[in-house]
Amino acid sequence: MLSKLNRQLDKGIELVEDRPGRGDKAGKGARIVYNARFFLRRGDEVTNDPRSIALYRDQLKIRRIDGVELIDHTTILGKRQPIACVEKALYGMQAGGFWEILASSHLCYGGKGVDGLIPPDAMLRVRLWVQEVGAAG
């Protein structure tokens, strides 16, 4: 069950929707498998490059969530592998959980943005699904 709320997770990150998962909450050093969708504040989705996906499709683990193909990403919390807003939001999530966050630009791509995808100083709305929470291997 999704709950609508507006709660600060961290400075610059607001939790706007969540669905609790099960099991241990993710903490520093945890190995997380997650999926993410990114949206500009006005609602436009930031999509993956279809050419890159086609080129590397056989090397990617792709799952369908809410009718959309999403790539599995794996990270170890505390290693600063994903962008800051994603890493900070993953702390406290559980396997099977979903969070939607609104993140300030300084925790996303800042003043540089991403050429052709994310304008400079853009806030992002991020939807996160956690598939697994485990010990770092």
d(C-alpha 52, C-alpha 103), whole Å: 26
Which residue bears the tokens 């939001």?
89
Residue 75 CA to residue 77 CA, distance in Å, equals 6
Q: What is the model's pLDDT at position 54?
A: 64
Exposed, middle or buried by CB within 10 Å (0-12, 13-18, 19+), for 117? middle
Domains defined along the chain, listed by start:
3-135 (3.10.50.40)
Query: What's the CA gap between 119 and 30, in Å, rounded?
Result: 32
Read off the pLDDT of residues 16-66 as tens digits, 9 standing for 90 and up: 999 999 999 999 999 999 999 999 978 898 876 666 666 666 666 888 888
pLDDT tens for each residue of 55-112 = 666 666 888 888 888 889 999 999 998 999 999 999 999 999 999 999 999 999 999 9
pLDDT score of 80: 92
Tell me, what's the pLDDT at 100?
Answer: 95
Specify whether the CB–CB gap between 102 and 123 falls below 8 A: yes
Whole-number pLDDT of residue 50: 67
